[in-house]
Amino acid sequence: MEDYDVSGYDIVSKKIKESLGLKRSPVAIKFVLKKEDLPEKIQEIDKAVRHCEMVTRASLGETFYATSEDQSCKGGAAAIGAGEAPEKIKTGEFYYDLGRFSSIGAAKRTLDAIPKIDMDIYATIYAPLEDATFHPDIIVVVGNPAQAMKLSQALVYTLGGRVKADFSGIQSLCADAVAGPFTSKNPNITLGCSGSRKFAGIEDEEVIVGLTGENIGCVVNALDAIS
């Protein structure tokens, strides 16, 4: 079993929440490759739901892990490495049938460009950042545009540059906010998708920011300096 006995994320989360004025917690996400590496103190989620719903539940205080069988949205699960996408999602037919695209070709090109984690993930751990007893691979922040702006300012505070937003209105909390930052090691801002707004309670005025866990200390220091 991997050692998940870490501390300090309660302070990190408090600083982020206070600096940005967030109404819910940043969500810490960690990928587990093997069953034997699951921590004993973290329990499996009580029922199968969508990944975006899991992010919302964690932002409101729950800590749990989910296997691929616990992921009810198979498209979202495939984006984060927790299973294979159904054929109709791979081809774009699913979204074409929903009326989101004018042609199968447009749908397929979009689905091909969506970030995906090319790993066989056994389970994904979700927790409010302040309760994380593990080093997160990804940290998801849900907030309003002004809060996302301030977070963007913190991201460029030390080295400068630009914050890029890469999205298509599909698979936002899975592909855009988790798979994209995990594979590119760059933060990403996404406007959400119909699924996350319908099922996960992402509000009309909210946007999502996906951060990598490796440099969260620099982000917090920058937020302090900007404040």
* Tokens (6 digits) for 146: 């002004």
| Residue 2 pLDDT exceeds 90 | no
DSSP element (H, E) containing 67: strand 64-67
Compute the distance between CA of residue 27 and CA of residue 53 in angstroms, rounded to an integer: 12
Q: Is the distance from CB of 26 to CB of 45 less than 8 angstroms?
A: no
Average pLDDT over residues 102-126: 96
| Residue 88 pLDDT exceeds 90 | yes
Q: How confident is the model at residue 5 (pLDDT cuts 50, 70, 90)?
A: low
Residue in 116, 121, 125, 130 with CA at minimum distance from that of residue 178: 116
Residue in 111, 128, 38, 33 with CA at minimum distance from that of residue 76: 111
Q: Tens digits of per-residue pLDDT, 180-207? A: 999 999 999 999 999 999 999 999 999 9
